[in-house]
Amino acid sequence: MIALLLLAQVQTPAIVVQGERLSQALRQCEARQCTVRRDAQVSIASAEMLFRKGDYLKAKLLLAAAIDRNRRHEATSPKLVSSLYEAYATVSLHEGDEDGFRRGTRQQVRILRDHLPADDPAVVAKLTALSDMWLKLRDYRQAKLSYEAAEQKAARAGQAEMAALAAIRVAWLTAIAGGRSASRAMLDEIAARPVAQTGDLPDVIKVMRFRIDASELTDAEMLRRARSIGGAYRETPLLVVNPSYDFIDSAALNQAASRFEMVTPIPVRSSDVSSVQWVDVGFWIRPDGRTDEVEILRGTRSESWARSIVRQVEGRVYSRFLPVDEAKRTAGQYRVERVTLRQRYVVPVGSLTPRRVPIGGVETLDLTAA
């Protein structure tokens, strides 16, 4: 959402609104006294404040109201209205509203496609948005089909880099479905493309090769290969090793039981209500790719899973890099991430009311930019 707020501020005088001033500005917008640009700025900023405090539902409803006020302006202000849908989709995913996530993602893509030229950077940047959506929803088959279509569309539009990124995703999804040999061949073909010699693509391909081979490597080989990626030419780190989280939740137990056709150990009842569980984790990424000084900054702390988040971040390995700012070349880069336990709205047996329940895993969002 931070990036969306920056988008909403492009080519307009700076607007500094905080605290009571932000609340007053939001009331003006709710009274339809704001331009589309100011409404988008104020609404996204207000939603971000609520999101940071863990009030996901309030943030989602606030953005939904902003969309209702501004949807009629999509033809004249497509980027701004699309940014509202994108923020809505982001909050919806963290809040457990998968239907809202789908709607928000589809609408942000449709608005840009319908009202901007096909080669507009905003349209190009969203070529894989629907594919990313399916990946987030863990529909890997649909995600793969969508990435394949996105690659072809990007290639026809002359967007070679975007086509290569989509193709890398196809290769990765092929690998996790068991087709490692086919995936390696795909990466060989991508690496031979002229565009794969520029920008981040050489390192991204190295990361994908590493992840495909990881299960066949010793710990020493894994560390050596992970730390061979990147170098002084990189200004920012690239995540190479991303360990699994080691906490066991009710969703994981239920999924394990279903695989063996056992009775669900923790069924969802009509009286069950799962609250949003989140933490902000802060940590340093040192120039050699190690993480350091990992700590939970705030959140709805549950000791068991919060400790697991710390262990997971401590186990990450990033590419080597050299910050542009000389003052940071020894310390590296400090990062803050919001981690939310994944949930979904379902209608339990014996109820007509959708309720939020855990589904296993986490969603992460980089909050560093703020």
Contact between 294 and 310 under an 8 Å Cβ cutoff? The reply is yes
Global model pTM greater than 0.95: no
Where along the chain do its domains lie?
1-116, 127-216, 230-370
Pairing label, strands 317-318, 239-241: antiparallel
Structure tokens at 221: 């080989």
What DSSP designation does 158 have? T
Q: How far apart are the first and last CA of the chain?
A: 10
Residue with the larger pLDDT of the pair 329 and 171: 171
At 355 the three-state DSSP class reads strand
Question: Residue 51 pLDDT > 90, yes or no?
Answer: yes
Question: Residue 270 pLDDT > 60, yes or no?
Answer: no
E strand spans, 27-133: none
Question: Between the CA atoms of 116, 122, 127 and 133, what dihedral angle is there, to the nearest 10 degrees?
Answer: -110
Residue with the larger pLDDT of the pair 3 and 138: 138
Question: Residue 14 pLDDT > 80, yes or no?
Answer: no
At 193 the three-state DSSP class reads coil
Residues in the chain: 370
Amino acid at 272: D
Beta carbons within 8 Å of 203's beta carbon, 6+ residues apart? 229, 230, 234, 238, 319
pLDDT band at 94, cuts 50/70/90?
very high
Among 144-148, 230-234, 347-351, the least confident range: 347-351
At 244 the three-state DSSP class reads coil
- For residues 288 and 158, give the distance between their C-alpha atoms in angstroms, rounded to a whole number: 36
- 282-322 pLDDT, tens digit per residue, is 999 999 999 999 999 999 867 778 899 999 999 999 999 99
